[in-house]
Amino acid sequence: MTMENQRIVLASRPEGWVTLENFRLEKIALPRLQDGGVLVKNLWLSLDPYMRGRMNEGKSYAAKQEIGEVMIGGTVGEVVESRHPKFAKGDKVLGMLGWQQYGISDGKGLNKVDASRVPLSAYLGVLGMPGVTAWVGLLDICQPKAGETVLVSAASGAVGSAVGQIAKLKGCRAVGIAGGKAKCDYVVDELGFDACVDYKAGRLNDDLKAALPDGVDCYFENVGGEILDAVLRRMNAFSRIAVCGLISQYNATEPYGVKTLQSILTNRIRMQGFIVSDRMELWPKALPELVGWVASGRIKYRETIAQGLQNAPKAFIGLLKGENLGKQLVKL
Ligand SMILES: NC(=O)c1ccc[n+]([C@@H]2O[C@H](COP(=O)([O-])OP(=O)(O)OC[C@H]3O[C@@H](n4cnc5c(N)ncnc54)[C@H](OP(=O)(O)O)[C@@H]3O)[C@@H](O)[C@H]2O)c1
């Protein structure tokens, strides 16, 4: 019997903001599984800001994806048929099988995960790429010492929420920047940050100054633009900035020109960009620590869940506009 697969492909490249018209839902017959193949029913799809860069024609830090191709994306799911010696029916697996209900893999990049201790969806968030990104950027690049102040933007999101909580575990003062009072309340009241600045309140410079009486020793940058400009004014001598993301720029047609670069010289700031996939050697160190912190309740996380593949484009646009709280997922 032929099985049907539903998938979302890139229909056109966005100019500026992504629109629903940039995506197309297709229904196709699943090909018969070849020797060495694994058929996976995807249960959860991860939506991540990097996908925006891949939709562009030009080079981002990740290769562009072609028009008509299935949208790239991390997935967790269950093996429904296997002709591969390392995978069996029923295995729960993490992979990059994209925006589709079923994926066929040759086993490369497909990893079995244990869903008995933590929910399967966590492997796409706090115990997956975003969680390890937080660990690498904070602990390997910023290297905060106890007593120092760590500031993180997009603080209520998948990466930012982990950054502030890890900073607290390391004895630092953790301050977040997030859009809106509800997100800031969540960051302070539930995640235990010491303070959070609502950048949408219209007093960014004054509010940062008030929340950062001792300045900033480590800044974990997720957004760029005006926020970076304002933060550079608050950096301490010999402070560090880990440039993880610049989401405020991903849909911009004109790049924002930062005006306060002089702070880098005056304060002898070390600023370093990083891509988590360049640091695969750190995953075996980061992941057990994250699992331990999550299992013991010392790192908390939230998920925003869209229902059904057909709602993935809308949820993705929502993620880029800040409609998510915590990790944005699609339940397939
Ligand atoms: N370098 C790497 O290897 C790597 C890996 C993973 C992620 N990243 C980057 O890390 C950042 C966070 O990713 P994530 O997966 O954790 O996403 P996320 O924080 O869960 O979601 C994105 C958030 O960005 C904020 N945002 C959107 N537009 C903004 C703007 N114009 N100004 C300020 N904030 C804005 C929104 O929060 P507010 O409502 O608070 O504005 C939104 O909720 C992104 O920049 C991403 O590209 C980098």
pLDDT along the chain (332 residues), means of 10: 91 95 97 95 97 87 88 97 97 97 96 89 96 98 98 98 98 98 98 98 98 98 98 98 96 93 98 96 94 93 98 98 97 98
pLDDT at 134: 98
Helices (H), the chain: 50-54, 129-135, 158-169, 181-185, 204-211, 226-232, 262-266, 283-295, 312-320
Cβ 160 under 6 angstroms from ligand 1: yes
pLDDT at 1: 66
Q: 208: part of which helix (H) or strand (E)?
A: helix 204-211
Q: What are phi and psi of 203, to 5 degrees?
A: -130, 45
Structure tokens of 91? 């295995």
Cβ 322 under 6 angstroms from ligand 1: yes
Nearest residue by C-alpha to atom 18 in ligand 1: 157
pLDDT at 63: 78
Q: How far is CA 34 from CA 38, 92, 323, in A?
A: 8, 20, 41
Mutate to test the pocket of ligand 1, among 48, 198, 207, 223 (most ligand atoms within 8 A of CB): 223
pLDDT at 330: 98
Nearest to 177 by CA among 153, 194, 201: 153
What pTM does this model have?
0.96
Cβ 158 under 6 angstroms from ligand 1: yes
